[in-house]
Amino acid sequence: MSGPLLQAPALEMLKLLEELAAFSAPGPGVTRLLYTPEWSGAQSFLRKRMAALDLATGTDEVGNLYGSLRGRDPQAKVILTGSHIDTVVNGGAYDGAYGIAAALTAVDYLRRTFGQPRRTLEVVSFCEEEGSRFPLAYWGSGHVTGVYGPGSGADRSDADGVELLAAMKSCGYGPGSVDPSTGSPRSCALRGDIGAFVELHIEQGIVLEQSGQQIGVVQAIAGQLRFTVKVGGTANHAGTTPMALRRDAVAGAAEMLLTLEQTAAAAGDPLVATAGRLEVYPNTPNVIPGRVLFTLDLRHSEAAALETYCAAVLLEFEAIAARRGLELHITPTLQAAPAPMDSGLRSLLENICRSQRRTYRSMVSGAGHDAQLFSPRCRAAMIFVPSQAGISHSPDEYSSPQELAAGLDVLTAMLYELAYREE
Amino acid sequence: MSGPLLQAPALEMLKLLEELAAFSAPGPGVTRLLYTPEWSGAQSFLRKRMAALDLATGTDEVGNLYGSLRGRDPQAKVILTGSHIDTVVNGGAYDGAYGIAAALTAVDYLRRTFGQPRRTLEVVSFCEEEGSRFPLAYWGSGHVTGVYGPGSGADRSDADGVELLAAMKSCGYGPGSVDPSTGSPRSCALRGDIGAFVELHIEQGIVLEQSGQQIGVVQAIAGQLRFTVKVGGTANHAGTTPMALRRDAVAGAAEMLLTLEQTAAAAGDPLVATAGRLEVYPNTPNVIPGRVLFTLDLRHSEAAALETYCAAVLLEFEAIAARRGLELHITPTLQAAPAPMDSGLRSLLENICRSQRRTYRSMVSGAGHDAQLFSPRCRAAMIFVPSQAGISHSPDEYSSPQELAAGLDVLTAMLYELAYREE
């Protein structure tokens, strides 16, 4: 691909991204689920790299990893930057990992170029954001911001029935766990000392590519509601049960999923509705399915519109279940309100883009991000770079080296403004 | 439950059924899939029991188990009776196992009461019938009747990707494998010496219970068509992909499954259509599904009606896939023509019911059975007993001791007629 020659920091960042992608379960793309061996390997690797770059490293009770460059002013609140280390199943190499690799590269560059900052600069690798293994998302940033606390997730298990807290313990984390590198108990995850959080991320959508712009300055992150839906019928013989006498859980779920798609299309953008995971029991060719579980993921940038659609579609589900004589259990697994980004930081980012002569636009994020958990508690900002064809959560996820380097430059300038310049 | 006192043979049969049910994978009901440890355990247990009852035992290359009571006439063809040892996932204790337990009990009773028969009487425990682990059914009786031969199933794997032939080898079976009990190579599965096959089975439907009759004399077994349907779309981010730009494989599959249900209901009894197994990829809450696999099971007692419905519904699937821009691959996994039972054996069974003063009816079997593979090749007969509420392929599958004992009495009389009386 053509484009300006990349500078040393960008090349380091790209190399680090490649190294992180190697920590993956077998299969297409990158699969790095919370509290798995691949996940532990990636966090340990990052911690060694942070230490090698003279950052003070530490992990908290839930497995978030920090690399800190101490500032001169002990009173000043911390400038935090980074993203999440986990991925979806068969995801890409950029989602989350890019924000961590760029943050580490930027902080190292600033340290080597300008020495100690006024405010402490910290790089974070959040343990979990996707909700791909357990029906709970933002596990990392949620603990840092106090959305989750001790005991959260006690009722959640993965698809194999492994409990979240048991998986955490099996990786050596959890309340009172000891950090092997320091030999002392890990810190509680909650932080009260964060002044600002800046996250660099791929767009995971097609807006920047279509508008031909280099940088997206996020004005707000769409709200999100997630549910687990359980449909119960009667398992029975596929050959001897007349159609009229069936209580087929899959047929009921199929009607719900079609309704979901039709009502979401009717509601119009920016509403999106997805059933991404579906399990059938007993899942045998010659047995009428007795039970189906599926997940719901509903998003909109306006809270009222999201709530209205959600209430309407769940009512439709109940009507379908009632008409078919099926049992229906709907469990909320995630509620995230739309999250506005800090207006001061947004104009700072726009000034940086102008001074770097980069094309940029203000935009809404349809995807959820760790930054949304910080926005109610401290100043939060997000920077997007283009995703090829808008493809993400797929092995085909791709952003060019030049696009990734542009994001790194904007992030670096932003961290310089916040940690070295700002009074 | 009230009813006449059970005689000794019936009690032995019920005990044997209980013993067989203990060979199961964990979970509700009975799960005994082909070439698993539970399956091997059940076949070894049965073989020991057959030997203890003075039957000559043997296994063939694919894992069918025989217990033989030699007849006086070496020229006379064999009278074979039994059923299949495998189950569906979380199935019941009667489907298949009842036919084996009753056959073994009946042959033992006849030997002890009447000594050596004129024709050789053989009890068979077929290795597989359900198609629950691999997308291939009647693996046992199919080999005995020559429907399958060496190399069959080479392209089939289970849900975990284990190949059928590899699983067979791992259990010590396969061409040229040695029978550990005899030390000599196992026989080829194909049999040319069968004169008649008689199978006793639970109805797995609600007809006998509703009509209040004890015995069903099967006149024909419904034809069956099975397919694997693969729907291909594009995996993408659930938050950043507008509804209008999606190629959601689950939404497409949902429309197909709803069409399946509606067209099957419109076609009317005895047509039944079932999608029993469904797999979604990558199966993650916040990823639009890129791929779905589901199975189709279509049945009707008339070949023409079955073919007509099948062609029509598959055309509908293609139209849905085309309209949604989804890929569609449909692979046939089973084709079983409707199978008439031998009219002479049917009248013999009806005479026996009358002489035993049992209520009975002639009926079609909506379920597939091993007997249908014999009907084109030799005389075949099937005897049904009632299933409570018609429930089968479920842990709730149940037939009362009295109902099971009545079936045993009819089978015993039938085997006496065929092996001892018939010229």
CA proximity to B313, closest of B294, B290, B292: B294
Mean pLDDT of A160-180: 94
Q: Is A255 on the interface with B (CB under 8 A)?
A: yes
pLDDT of residue B409: 97
Smallest CA–CA distance from A229 into chain B, residue: B285
Nearest to B264 among A243, A273, A276 (CB): A243
Instruction: Check: CB of residue B178 under 8 Å from CB of residue B185.
Output: yes
Q: Do domains B10-221+338-420 and B223-336 have the same CATH topology?
A: no
CB neighbourhood size of B377 (10 A): 15
Sequence-distant (≥ 6) Cβ neighbours of residue A224 within 8 angstroms: A297, A298, A299, A306, A334, A335, A336, A368, B239
In angstroms, the CA B95 to CA B85 distance is 9
pLDDT of residue A100: 98
Mean pLDDT of A81-87: 98
Binding residues of B: 84, 95, 130, 201, 226, 286, 299, 393
- The H-or-E segment that residue A111 falls in is helix A97-114
Tokens 């639970």 belong to which residue?
B202
CB neighbourhood size of A142 (10 A): 24
Nearest to B392 among A206, A236, A242 (CB): A236
pLDDT of residue A236: 85
Query: How far away is chain B from the Cα of A78, in angstroms, using its nearest Cα?
Result: 30
Q: Is B264 on the interface with A (CB under 8 A)?
A: yes
* DSSP line for A62-91: T--EEEEE--S-TTSPEEEEEEE----TTB
Write out pLDDT tens, residues B234-261: 988 898 888 988 999 999 999 999 999 9
Per-residue CA distances from B211 to B216, B305, B382 (Å): 11, 26, 19
In angstroms, the CA A380 to CA A341 distance is 6
Q: Is A136 on the interface with B (CB under 8 A)?
A: no
Structural domain spans, chain B: 10-221+338-420, 223-336
In angstroms, the CA B361 to CA B211 distance is 9
Per-residue CA distances from B355 to A108, A209, B349, B352, B412 (Å): 95, 83, 10, 5, 13
Write out pLDDT tens, residues A361-391: 998 898 889 999 999 999 999 999 999 998 8
Write out pLDDT tens, residues B129-146: 999 999 888 999 999 999
- pLDDT band for A4, please (50, 70, 90 cuts): low
In angstroms, the CA A376 to CA A342 distance is 10
With 90 as the cut, is the pLDDT of residue B176 above it?
Answer: no
Q: Identify which has the larger pLDDT, B154 or A116.
A: A116
pLDDT of residue B368: 87
Nearest to A251 among B91, B245, B257 (CB): B257
Mean pLDDT of A92-113: 98
User: Which of A:269-288 have CB within 8 Å of B?
Assistant: 269-288
With 80 as the cut, is the pLDDT of residue B123 above it?
Answer: yes
Residues of B in contact with A90 (CB under 8 A): 235, 281-282
Using DSSP, state whether B338 is helix, strand or coil.
coil
With 60 as the cut, is the pLDDT of residue B28 above it?
Answer: yes
The CA dihedral of A13, A16, A21, A23, to the nearest 10 degrees, is -150
In angstroms, the CA A260 to CA A242 distance is 28
Q: Which residues are paired to A388 by β-bridges? A: none
Smallest CA–CA distance from B289 into chain A, residue: A276
What is the architecture of the domain spanning B223-336?
2-Layer Sandwich (3.30)
Contact B239 A257 (CB under 8 A): no
Q: Quick check: bond before A270 cis, omega within 30?
A: yes
- pLDDT band for B328, please (50, 70, 90 cuts): very high
- Over the Cα atoms of chain B, what is R_g? 23
Mean pLDDT of A60-79: 96
Nearest to A88 among B280, B282, B394 (CB): B282
Contact B235 A135 (CB under 8 A): no
Nearest to A89 among B204, B239, B282 (CB): B282
Instruction: Check: CB of residue A122 under 8 Å from CB of residue A81.
Output: yes
Tokens 């707000």 belong to which residue?
A220
Instruction: Check: CB of residue A387 under 8 Å from CB of residue A293.
Output: no
- Residue % of chain A over a pLDDT of 70: 99
Q: Is A262 on the interface with B (CB under 8 A)?
A: no
- pLDDT band for B302, please (50, 70, 90 cuts): confident
Smallest CA–CA distance from A235 into chain B, residue: B394
With 70 as the cut, is the pLDDT of residue B423 above it?
Answer: yes
- Residue % of chain A over a pLDDT of 90: 85
pLDDT of residue B44: 97
- pLDDT band for A2, please (50, 70, 90 cuts): very low
- pLDDT band for B181, please (50, 70, 90 cuts): confident
Contact B243 A236 (CB under 8 A): no
Q: Is B389 on the interface with A (CB under 8 A)?
A: no
Write out pLDDT tens, residues A411-421: 999 999 999 99
pLDDT of residue B182: 86
With 90 as the cut, is the pLDDT of residue B374 above it?
Answer: yes
Per-residue CA distances from B360 to A132, B197, B365 (Å): 56, 20, 14
Strands A194-202 and A78-84: parallel
Q: Is A223 on the interface with B (CB under 8 A)?
A: no
User: Which of A:73-132 have CB within 8 Å of B?
Assistant: 88-91, 130-132
Contact A393 B235 (CB under 8 A): yes
Nearest to A237 among B248, B258, B367 (CB): B367
With 90 as the cut, is the pLDDT of residue A136 above it?
Answer: no
Q: DSSP code of B390?
A: G
Sequence-distant (≥ 6) Cβ neighbours of residue A336 within 8 angstroms: A137, A138, A223, A224, A225, A368, A372
Residue B54 region by backbone torsions, left for phi larger than 0, else alpha for psi between -120 and 50, else beta = left
Query: How far away is chain A from the Cα of B103, in angstroms, using its nearest Cα?
Result: 24
Residues of A in contact with B257 (CB under 8 A): 250-251, 254
Most A CBs within 10 A among B274, B277, B288, B384, hence the mutation to make, goes to B274
What is the architecture of the domain spanning A10-221+338-420?
3-Layer(aba) Sandwich (3.40)
With 90 as the cut, is the pLDDT of residue B278 above it?
Answer: yes
pLDDT of residue B209: 93
- pLDDT band for B150, please (50, 70, 90 cuts): confident
- The H-or-E segment that residue B143 falls in is helix B139-144
Instruction: Check: CB of residue A254 under 8 Å from CB of residue A294.
Output: no
CB neighbourhood size of B193 (10 A): 11
Write out pLDDT tens, residues A293-352: 999 999 998 899 999 999 999 999 999 999 999 999 999 998 888 999 999 999 999 999
pLDDT of residue B2: 41
Q: Is A244 on the interface with B (CB under 8 A)?
A: yes
Query: How far away is chain A from the Cα of B248, in angstroms, using its nearest Cα?
Result: 9
Sequence-distant (≥ 6) Cβ neighbours of residue A374 within 8 angstroms: A80, A141, A145, A194, A197, A380
Q: DSSP code of A243?
A: G
Angle at A69 between CA A66 and CA A71, to 5 degrees: 130
Instruction: Check: CB of residue A134 under 8 Å from CB of residue A153.
Output: yes
Helix-helix angle B8-21:B97-114, to 10 degrees: 140
